[in-house]
Amino acid sequence: PRRHPGLICTVLLRRRGKAGPLTVMSCDNLPLNGNTARDSVLAFARLVDQDLATYIAQEVPFPNAMVDRITPVTKPEQIDILKQEYGVEDGWPVVAEPFLQWVVEDKFVKGRPAWEKACSGPNESVLFVDDVEPYELMKLRLLNSSHSAMAYVSLLACHKFVDEALTDIDVLTFLRAYMNEVVTTLVPVAGVNFIEYRAKLVERFSNPYIKDTLARLALDGSQKFEATLGRALVEHFKGCAACNFDVLALAFAAFLRCCATSTFDGIAPSPDITIDDPKKSLLEPLATDALRCCVQEHESGDALDVEAEDAWRAKGEQATSSFLSCVFGKGVEDFSELSALVYKHFTSLVFRGMRDCLASYRQEQLLRIKAEIAATYEVLRTLQRQEILLTPPEEAEATTIEVTS
């Protein structure tokens, strides 16, 4: 055998009836990697030895595992530092953040290594759990999809590095709001406080020593968005009001804007942004079509041609729907509210720019929050008046709550 399924089958065949089964542990950075490894090994075994396939299916565990650590691309200067300051010559050292989490499905034969004892600091942990998938979904949606979302938003705001972008209060506000929206798609995860987890993510993203580039995060956007949010869109947002995914829509609009690489009627593509995506040949024409409709709608509005304006808007929303379907598959093609909201944000990005849109969004959120605070105080004051009416005078001093605005 020359590939891993055949090699694993060979080892298991030789051990069968002698040393017995062992645990096959996949460390590939794929969702449910143990299941994938099991499927490939069983497929090979069924082709060569059905009895071996039955043995593997019944006796050999393939635990799933998930690793969480940000590892940006190694730069030449880091290779030089390692050589000059530590005397180590390494052609490709791996640079990583201090944080490290490994979540492993506790499904082993004949015991397991005590990897948790290897953790030496507060930023390191190995968790053995019954089900890895909730942790995996949490990471995919809150870490990976947030990386993609902030990449396109930050590139359009003319940032280059992740930590630099998060010193921009408008980008930081967007990221926090995005996470607040995405977290609603998750089920509770044992041992995890989502508020603390999101705060830790922002802290990790802001690490100035990692110098992770936004261009790296923007690679393969269609694949990353589909892998991290495709299931969430279908399961959690179908039938929801558009306001429930407003920040996601802004993120998708930023990706759409970055893919509109053609110049149309004086509207030029965003500077210094190169889209490297496996679906680039499909996405660029759709994004350019959305841009064309956007410009024509704007011109029709200036000419007070309401009928033409509405027609171009409808075409723009359809182009946006086709773009989203190309990214996420046909499961989202009926999400007309989402397409309309993404196109609305896209139009704002084309004519106002990302910085202005982000600043306006932050101000709108502040006004909304202040209004909600004022309404809450009014409810409390009403309750306090009712409490005074119902409380005997001798108990009033002990029970009255002071409410200030």
Q: Which two tokens stand for residue 147?
A: 């990386």
* pLDDT confidence of residue 2: 83
CA gap 70, 335 in Å, rounded: 33
What pairing do the DSSP bridges indicate for beta strands 124-129 and 100-105? parallel
Q: Six-digit token pair at 44?
A: 């090979």
Whether 129 and 192 have beta carbons less than 8 Å apart is answered as no
- pLDDT category at 403 given cuts 50, 70, 90 is low
Residues 126-175: pLDDT tens digits? Answer: 999 999 999 999 999 999 999 999 999 999 999 999 999 999 999 999 99
Among candidate residues 333, 324, 339, the one with its CA nearest the CA of residue 279 = 324
Mean pLDDT in residue range 284-303? 90
Percent of the chain with pLDDT over 70: 93
Q: Which two tokens stand for residue 361?
A: 């969004």
- For the stretch 226-248, pLDDT in tens is 999 998 888 876 655 555 789 99
Strand, helix or coil for residue 114: coil
Q: How far apart are CA 401 and CA 405, in angstroms?
A: 13
d(CA 145, CA 91): 31
Contact, 224 vs 148, CB < 8 A? yes
Q: Establish how many alpha carbons lie within 13 A of residue 6's alpha carbon, considering only the half-sphere containing its beta carbon.
A: 5
Residues forming beta bridges with residue 124, ordered by sequence position: 100
Distance CA 7, CA 13 (A): 10
29 backbone dihedrals φ, ψ, rounded to 5°: -85, 65
When the pLDDT of each residue in the chain is averaged and rounded to a whole number, the result is: 90
Distance (Å) of CA 31 to CA 27, 228, 269: 11, 10, 35
Distances (CA, A) of 123 to 12, 199, 204: 37, 14, 11
Cα–Cα distances in angstroms (integers) from residue 403 to residues 117, 378, 380, 381, 383, in the given order: 51, 9, 7, 7, 10
Q: What is the pLDDT of residue 391?
A: 86
